Amino acid sequence: MHEVKVYDSSGNLKKVISVKALTKRSDQQINSPSLYIKKGRKAKPADKMMGKDLKSAQA
């Protein structure tokens, strides 16, 4: 993993996110992914998605 540089719309460097911060965030995301789900998006259960894929493949 590498550090991430964040720029604004005019191309000026706003901040640099360190590898340590990225690692910490990824660990948090693995432990509780619901904290990082965007509002308005509903996750579809994997069982229903698999069933649709199987039906379309059989047709």
pLDDT tens digit sequence for 2-56: 999 999 999 999 999 999 999 998 998 888 877 777 776 565 665 555 555 555 5
pLDDT band at 58 (very low <50, low <70, confident <90, very high): low
Task: Give every CB contact of residue 2 below 8 A, 6+ residues apart in sequence.
Answer: 19
Say if 47 falls within a structural domain. Answer: no
Length of the chain in residues, anyone? 59
Residue 17: strand, helix, or coil: strand
Query: Is 45 part of any domain?
Result: no
Closest by CA position to 16, among listed 24, 28, 7: 7
Based on C-alpha coordinates, what's the Rg of the chain? Answer: 19
For β-strands 4-7 and 13-17, DSSP reports them as antiparallel
Residue 21 is predicted with a pLDDT of 94
Structural domain boundaries enclosing 15 = 1-36
Considering its fold, how many domains does the chain have in total?
Answer: 1
Which pLDDT score, from 0 to 100, does residue 51 have?
55
pLDDT of residue 34: 78
In a domain, 51, yes or no: no
